[in-house]
Amino acid sequence: MMIKSINPFSGKKVNSYETHTIQGTNRIISSVDKAFHSWRSTGFQQRAVFMLNLASLLRSKKEELAKLMAIEMGKVMREGVAEIEKCAWVCEYYAQNSETMLENETVETQYSASFVSYQPLGTILAVMPWNFPFWQVFRFLAPTLMAGNTAVLKHASNVPGCALAIEELVREAGFPENVFRTLLVGSSLVEGIIRNPAVKAVSLTGSTPAGRSVAAIAGSELKKCVLELGGSDPYLILKDAALEQSAIVCATSRLLNAGQSCIAAKRFIVVDEVYTHFLEHFTDKMNEARFGDPCDPDITMGPLARTDLRDELHQQVIDSVKKGAEIVLGGEIPNLKGSFYPPTILENVKPGMPAYDDELFGPMASVIRVKDESEAVKVANDTPFGLGAAVFTKNTIAGSRIAELQLDAGCCFVNDFVKSDPRLPFGGIKQSGFGRELSLHGIREFVNAKTVVVK
């Protein structure tokens, strides 16, 4: 059986790869499990040497890797280069901080010694999506390997070239053989991989339905999982917001990666006093996007990753308009080759519409008018998702209070768009998943917090 990667701009086949059989997959997992038993005894300093090598390799190959993303899933070059730089950053961060994060913690008791030791679990499975094909993997890979675990990757089927490139980078950085391996398999084999006794836990970034499925399988095996799922992030524009700057930030968030991001701004909740002026600025900024060949350095937005994803987004727009939403900008599939969708804005968006209720994975913004701050918070929380949220106001004390105490989300920003950072925990609540990636919290997800007592 073969996996094909298709260029979403040209529609042409990039390459095809032979998939691993069930037997081949099990052999790889067995090899990775065997590698764990020696890798776990490797000291932090040696692990850090390999991880810093990996960071250096990423930076030296950032143009090449960005082009691979552009060809396989349509990311524009400038965003691809930035993604690789961020991957290098997370490698450096964990190389420099993991030993301190996982050092033994002494607890004063009546015993002669008592402490908590953080020990690796074994081989961890990563099930990763196509939208950030390097970053999603590296924010898992860096803490997982630095903690002394080994890992196998089941990447999205439309980015096999990226998946294999990551395996080669790890090998080239000097990591021991089989510490990290890519599995070229379809989703039908994921259940068997999770149930493999050598796999100790699973991390998934993907859709909410995929998260439910993986969580059910992992739960039946009593294996831990971390889930980063979908989002419908609300951005609150309060009456004292700096409107033009807020519009720039909001448009940037909505159009990043052609809108294909779990933490992209999706619902723009604007108080009545500034609604008209904000919408004018926001429309102007959304309309500035230049879409075309993602390998062209002057292009700011590429195609969506697949034609079926473009068509699904368009159907969500159509269904919302049928229920009363009004098109401010875009809303029509352009007469261009490639799976493009234009920057689109809908207003008069209400509950019961896909533009209000669902995650829209593309450059489509829902603008919702509310009477005041209190209603803005209520509408923001009126969603099954809880990944990110943002507040725009000149009163940063009030904005911080809303972000901390009133918004139901895992990541809340004031006067900026939501983004992940190696130094801060990242993840969601409600239907956006559970567990955390990055920071101290991320590296401690896949370790055994072991109590040791000496009488």
- Three-point CA angle 162, 165, 167, nearest 5°: 115
Q: What is the DSSP letter of 10?
A: T
Task: Look up residue 361 and give its two tokens.
Answer: 């994975």
d(CA 8, CA 159): 11
Helix pair 160-172, 62-73: axis angle to 10 deg = 160
Active site residues: 228, 262
Residue whose C-alpha is closest to residue 32's, from 206, 228, 220, 193: 193
**Dihedral pair phi/psi, residue 35, rounded to 5°:** -65, -30
Cβ atoms of 345 and 270 within 8 Å: the answer is: no
d(CA 35, CA 56): 24
d(CA 119, CA 405): 34
Work out the burial of residue 270: count CB atoms within 10 Å of its CB; fewer than 13 is exposed, 13-18 middle, 19 or more buried: buried
d(CA 338, CA 389): 31
Q: How many CB atoms lie within 10 A of CB 265?
A: 27
Beta carbons within 8 Å of 406's beta carbon, 6+ residues apart: 377, 381
Q: How many CB atoms lie within 10 A of CB 167?
A: 17
Task: Look up residue 280 and give its two tokens.
Answer: 């004018």
Task: Provide the b/e sequence for 366-395 (b: ≥16 CB within 10 Å).
Answer: bbbbbeebeebbebbebbebbbbbbbbbee
For the chain, what is the radius of gyration of the CA atoms? 23
Please spell the DSSP secondary structure of 332-353, one letter per residue.
Answer: S--SSSSS----EEEES--TTS
Task: Provide the b/e sequence for 49-68 (b: ≥16 CB within 10 Å).
Answer: bbbbbbbebbbeebeebbbb
